[in-house]
Chain A
Amino acid sequence: MTLKQVQEGIVNSQVWKSIFRVGIPNTNRKRVLAVLGSLILHLHPVKVRRSGVRMSYTWCMGGTSFFLFLVETVTGLLLMFYYRPTIEYAFTDIMDLREQAPFGIMREMHRWGAHAMVIAVWLHMFRVFMTGSYKPPREFNWNVGVILLVLTLLLSFTGYLLPWDQLAIWAITVGSNMARASPGAGTEGPMSSLMKLGDVPLIHAGDDARFALIAGRSIGAATLLRFYVLHCMVIPLAAGFLMAIHFWRVRKDGGISGPL
């Protein structure tokens, strides 16, 4: 049996055909059907501009951001099996993961993936700007992108606290201290001291913007839980939803931009 025969045997088997209905896409008709018939591939149109396919045009950075988001989701889910978001366990769970799990690189992959995703999203934005792709009709998609950028940063920020080591709590302390200075909404923000009812200040350490962010007067158990839920549920879902809109709009705005 030659290799060719093996290949044909597999491709013509019932199992294969039940999954990939069109077989090897070696004619134009089959190429069209391959893309249309697959949920994942039909994110793409059947045909694309030659200029848009070039790696030197998009730098692949949008796709890279998306791929890294998927990496983060998979590794993040695996971490969730090991990790309990309480002050007693958070740090020791990570410690265990580090010492006990053989070949454990999920935590590494999750952390480096997070850093890489932030950089990839920046570079993607940079590319979109340099090709002028935010201009009509893509203004709205640029805005969806900006929100995705903010969500990416928030994901990284909330995740940073979870290992509950010195690096984590002090980075989040420095970051969240800024909220104290929100004009009119933080205890040390401009104008906040003017907001009072008679002698009772309306804005104090127990109800200001920082309190809302970290669920307490200082970083503690409530902060950890809050950041965990935000990090593993709320923000990934929101980001996933916006990505769906983002990709949909890329198609509806006429595909990858090109000279008019």
Chain B
Amino acid sequence: MTFLKNFINVLSVASISFILLSSVFAMLVYFCLLDGRVKTKGGTGFLVFGAILVVAGLFVRPLLYLAVAYFLVLWALAKIGPRLWEPKVGKWLLIAGLGGFALSMFDPNFYLIAAKPDNVPIVAMIFLLAIFTWIALRKAYLNDHAILAGGIPYEKTESDEKLFTWPDLVYTEMLCMILLTIVMVVWSVGLRAPLEEAANPTSSPNPAKAPWYFLGLQEMLVYFDPWLAGVVLPTLIIVGLMAIPYIDTNPKGNGYYAFRERKWEIGVFLYGFLVLWSFLIITGTFLRGPNWNFFGPYEYWDPNKLEPLVNVDLSELVWVKLMAMPLPKLWVIREAPGILIVLLYFALAPALAARPFRRFYLKMGGPRYYVGAFLFLFMLALPIKMVLRWLFNLKYLVHIQEIFFNI
């Protein structure tokens, strides 16, 4: 038991769980939605990645844990495959999740955080997200196979038939409202709204956290300065969401659940919604304690925990470590390597990718392709910065303190 708890604690370090989650996501798509067992050709990539993890794990201890977890999940998903979408399997996974949660509540440190009144809805959200993701993907999987077999999606068999709003729709709505009312009343009677001491501008709590739905952004502050994490990225999230219908020109999959016909769109959206947005909120809520330090789910939130601050800038790595020179005085020269990398990332990467991804370029046309690529590169920026932080203790790629321009 203690071993298991330690295992989970180590695994939950931000970037490690991030990598694990992203790769679970990729494996889910491959083995469970695209029937990886049928054509195992591409599956070797997963083994190669795992092997890299093992080798790296020989040097960095937490990576070994990651490799073990990675192979466990790989094995489980390869074994279950598309059977994941059978109601029986889904039910047992849910029971396992709920059971694991119930067991964890016996741990005092876990209980303290999970049972905080404002965190209760977020616990519920985790399960709701899991359930609804499963429902959506199950329906997509079934429709995919119906279409592959030359048939039509399930919704199509019913969509030409019309029902009277009264009674068919209003009864469903009625039921929904009654259920919701019961839930709201029980919840409100059972759990008091929190109220702390009166506001005191001179004594700040530790940790001071934003409202829970913004904790993903606060978590990004670890990797980016506020102008990116708090202003530019949220703006781009809104702009990006609004742009979706205009970037995605694929006419298929309109009005029914499907995956194969739109795997890239769904892949990118799920990555953004589940991994970037929801997972970061969960991290910020449950795993960040005093001084915004990282704590595993079973760890005590020790306010005296010290994390060494050893982060360095790219300029220092390049000029001092690599070229053994003092830092240039002029910031244009000092920051040239970082500026170059950022420019190449946003300007060159989409152009280079236009060749291997010609299919997209031709289908979408130039402007759509570049806007889409630009937004996607921003989505990738966070995991890239995470991994850089973790491998090289990199703080900033570009650090121009003179005008607060840090990336």
Interface residues of A (CB under 8 A from B): 25, 28, 31-32, 34-35, 41, 44-57, 59-60, 63-64, 67-68, 71, 87, 91, 94-95, 98, 105, 107-113, 115-116, 118-119, 122-123, 125-127, 129-136, 138-139, 142-143, 146, 149-150, 153, 156-157, 160, 163-175, 177-183, 186, 188-194, 218-220, 257-260
Determine whether the beta carbon of A126 is less than 8 Å from that of B226: no
Determine whether the beta carbon of B255 is less than 8 Å from that of A257: yes
**In chain B between 223 and 237, which residues have their CB closer than 8 angstroms to a CB of chain A?**
225-227, 229-232
Q: B residues within 8 A CB of A123? A: 128-129, 132
**In chain B between 210 and 255, which residues have their CB closer than 8 angstroms to a CB of chain A?**
210-214, 217-218, 225-227, 229-232, 238, 241-242, 244-246, 248, 250-255
Q: How far is the CB of B76 from chain A (nearest CB, A)?
A: 24
Q: A residues within 8 A CB of B198? A: 91, 164-166
Q: B residues within 8 A CB of A52? A: 159
- Given known A-B contacts A174-B209, A189-B231, A194-B403, A49 and B158 have beta carbons under 8 A apart: yes
Question: Can you list 5 residue pairs at the A/B interface with Cβ under 8 Å?
Answer: A48-B163, A59-B132, A112-B188, A112-B193, A157-B211
Determine whether the beta carbon of A46 is less than 8 Å from that of B195: no
Determine whether the beta carbon of A132 is less than 8 Å from that of B255: yes
Name which residue of chain B comes closest to A175, CB basis. B210
Determine whether the beta carbon of B244 is less than 8 Å from that of A134: yes
B152 at the interface (CB under 8 A from A): yes
Q: A residues within 8 A CB of B161? A: 49-50
Bound-complex Cα distance A166 to B226 (A):
23
Bound-complex Cα distance A56 to B155 (A):
11
Q: A residues within 8 A CB of B242? A: 142-143, 146
Contact residue among B121, B162, B163, B210 (Cβ-Cβ distance under 8 Å from A174): B210
Name which residue of chain A comes closest to B406, CB basis. A190
Determine whether the beta carbon of B188 is less than 8 Å from that of A109: yes
Determine whether the beta carbon of A108 is less than 8 Å from that of B214: no
Please tell me which stretch of B3-11, B93-101, B172-180 contacts chain A, meaning at least 4 of its Cβ atoms lie within 8 angstroms of it.
B172-180
Determine whether the beta carbon of B231 is less than 8 Å from that of A166: no
Bound-complex Cα distance A41 to B242 (A):
30
- Given known A-B contacts A115-B121, A123-B128, A218-B201, A47 and B155 have beta carbons under 8 A apart: no
Q: How far is the CB of A118 from chain B (nearest CB, A)?
A: 5
Determine whether the beta carbon of A94 is less than 8 Å from that of B195: yes
Determine whether the beta carbon of A165 is less than 8 Å from that of B197: yes
Determine whether the beta carbon of A132 is less than 8 Å from that of B258: yes
Instruction: Name A's interface SS.
Output: helix
Interface residues of B (CB under 8 A from A): 118, 121, 124-125, 128-129, 132, 135-136, 139-140, 152-156, 158-170, 172-173, 176-177, 180, 184-185, 187-189, 191-201, 203-205, 208-214, 217-218, 225-227, 229-232, 238, 241-242, 244-246, 248, 250-258, 262, 266, 269, 273, 402-406
Bound-complex Cα distance A68 to B179 (A):
12
Determine whether the beta carbon of A170 is less than 8 Å from that of B403: no
Determine whether the beta carbon of A190 is less than 8 Å from that of B227: yes
Contact residue among A34, A192, A218 (Cβ-Cβ distance under 8 Å from B166): A34
Given A95-B195, A170-B205, A189-B404, list of 7 further CB < 8 A pairs? A50-B158, A50-B162, A135-B253, A136-B245, A142-B244, A259-B155, A259-B159
Determine whether the beta carbon of B255 is less than 8 Å from that of A131: yes
- Given known A-B contacts A50-B162, A178-B226, A181-B404, A63 and B176 have beta carbons under 8 A apart: yes
Name which residue of chain A comes closest to B177, CB basis. A67
The residue in A107, A170, A189 that gathers the most chain B C-beta atoms within 10 A of its C-beta is A170
Bound-complex Cα distance A48 to B129 (A):
28
Determine whether the beta carbon of A183 is less than 8 Å from that of B168: no
Contact residue among A51, A94, A132 (Cβ-Cβ distance under 8 Å from B159): A51
- Given known A-B contacts A112-B187, A174-B210, A46 and B164 have beta carbons under 8 A apart: yes
Name which residue of chain A comes closest to B230, CB basis. A178
Contact residue among A35, A164, A169 (Cβ-Cβ distance under 8 Å from B165): A35
Determine whether the beta carbon of A56 is less than 8 Å from that of B135: yes
Determine whether the beta carbon of B121 is less than 8 Å from that of A116: yes
Bound-complex Cα distance A25 to B50 (A):
63
Q: B residues within 8 A CB of A32? A: 164
Bound-complex Cα distance A223 to B114 (A):
31
Q: How far is the CB of B172 from chain A (nearest CB, A)?
A: 6
Q: B residues within 8 A CB of A177? A: 226, 230
Determine whether the beta carbon of B195 is less than 8 Å from that of A98: yes
- Given known A-B contacts A138-B245, A180-B226, A35 and B166 have beta carbons under 8 A apart: yes
Determine whether the beta carbon of B199 is less than 8 Å from that of A105: no
Q: B residues within 8 A CB of A157? A: 211, 214
The residue in A129, A153, A157, A259 that gathers the most chain B C-beta atoms within 10 A of its C-beta is A259
Q: Shortest 9 CB-CB distances between A and B: which pairs?
A: A178-B230, A139-B245, A181-B226, A108-B188, A258-B159, A181-B227, A257-B255, A115-B121, A190-B405
- Given known A-B contacts A63-B176, A175-B214, A182-B227, A127 and B136 have beta carbons under 8 A apart: yes
